[in-house]
Amino acid sequence: MLLYVVRRVLLMVPTLIGVSIVVFVLTRVVPADPALAAAGIGASPQRVESIRKELGLDKPLPVQYAYYVRNLLRGDLGISVYSGLPVSKDIVRFFPATIELSLTAFVLVCMIGIPLGIFASTHQGKWVDLFSRVAAVATTALPTFWLAIVLQLLFFHRLHWFPIIGRISSYHMRPDHVTGFFVVDSILTGNWAALGDVLHHMALPLIALVAARLAIVVRLTRVCMLDVLALDYVRTAHAKGLPRRTVVNKHALRNAAIPIVTELGMQFAWMLGGSAVVEMIFVWPGLGYYAITALNNMDFNTIMAFTLIVTCIFLVTNLVIDLAYAFVNPRIRLE
């Protein structure tokens, strides 16, 4: 297995190189001047030209890319034009918010989606099955950004139940920094007032993320379980008198788990790298919000860093999914 992991990691390198070249070229050919954006409105031509030289934008494109790769190998992602700080420091500051929101949403999707899909498959044709299928189609058809805006209008503007901006209220003291995850830090430091406020702020972004992904997991789990429950060995297990719960959870679910694990892995990668719309609507200070802000300000170094991070997330997720196959089904050999 170790050899398999090493081989897969080496195969990631060409992908990262290809993505970096494409994004680097695209950020340089767009009709915008990052030096002008960095200099600000009303800057003199001399100031703009000075910044262009500082950023290395006056050099040929291949030379710029060579410098970028050299710095990248040193762990230098460049300086953010927008914040004026190293991009690596900004990522360390913003990424925990994305991980906290995405991981919580992923756990909720697993805890709700898989049992609901199993329950629907074992009650095929009944009202629970029909309701889950209708709900799955309805929520899948709803754009995430539209759902997020509707949640804001309903639960904030109409009902005044939940806040819609940020991770914590300005009148609450942030929990002492331990991990960067506000929920975990609040528990570790015993700051229960901050914990309640953080969970209050997470509610609407979580609903938007979970609703967008939950239906897919429910439908896939249901379909996979129906295929397995129709096999002969399941009927034989029932005929031998095994409890229904044992047959479903121990025998059927284990053999239906491969496509479910694949989909869950992709959903988690999407939440980490693709939740930028939700973060922007709810002003959630995560990596997606940081990337969109950088895009609006023509912050090329940040855009490059975000793209590489998202690419790495999906590549690593695919590797973890492959390793999970061997755990779910020991008959699968990774070679």
| Sequence-separated (6 or more) residues with CB below 8 Å from residue 228 | 234, 252, 253, 255, 256
**Encoded amino acid at 173, one letter:** M
Task: Please indicate, yes or no, if residue 16 is contained in any of the structural domains.
Answer: no
Q: Enter the tokens of residue 284.
A: 């959630």
Name the residue with tokens 């060579």.
66
Q: Domain containing 158: what range?
A: 95-328
Name the 3-class secondary structure at 86. strand
Name the residue with tokens 């397995």.
228
The CA-atom distances, in angstroms, between 332 and each of 129, 231, 324 are: 32, 20, 10
What pLDDT is recorded for position 59?
82
| Sequence-separated (6 or more) residues with CB below 8 Å from residue 136 | 215, 216, 218, 219
Task: Please indicate, yes or no, if residue 175 is contained in any of the structural domains.
Answer: yes
User: CA-CA distance, 1 to 327, in Å (whole number)?
Assistant: 12
Is the pLDDT reported for residue 335 higher than 70?
no
Q: Tens digits of per-residue pLDDT, 150-193?
A: 999 999 988 889 988 888 887 777 888 888 898 999 999 888 88
**Encoded amino acid at 315, one letter:** L
What pLDDT is recorded for position 49?
81
Q: Enter the tokens of residue 2.
A: 């170790």
Task: Please indicate, yes or no, if residue 117 is contained in any of the structural domains.
Answer: yes
Task: Please indicate, yes or no, if residue 6 is contained in any of the structural domains.
Answer: no
Count up the domains in the chain and report the number: 1
Task: Please indicate, yes or no, if residue 48 is contained in any of the structural domains.
Answer: no
Q: Tens digits of per-residue pLDDT, 274-319?
A: 688 899 999 999 988 988 888 887 788 888 899 899 888 888 888 8
CATH of the domain at 245: 1.10.3720.10
The CA-atom distances, in angstroms, between 53 and each of 46, 60, 134, 302, 333 are: 11, 12, 58, 18, 54
User: CA-CA distance, 164 to 160, in Å (whole number)?
Assistant: 10
Task: Please indicate, yes or no, if residue 292 is contained in any of the structural domains.
Answer: yes
User: CA-CA distance, 113 to 189, in Å (whole number)?
Assistant: 32
Helix (H), strand (E) at residue 222: helix 192-229
Task: Please indicate, yes or no, if residue 169 is contained in any of the structural domains.
Answer: yes
Q: Tens digits of per-residue pLDDT, 50-77?
A: 877 877 777 888 888 888 888 888 888 8
Rg (CA), the chain: 24
Average pLDDT score, the chain: 84
Are 19 and 330 within 8 A, CB to CB?
no
Is the pLDDT reported for residue 220 higher than 80?
yes
Are 210 and 140 within 8 A, CB to CB?
no
Q: Give the global pTM.
A: 0.85
Task: Please indicate, yes or no, if residue 82 is contained in any of the structural domains.
Answer: no
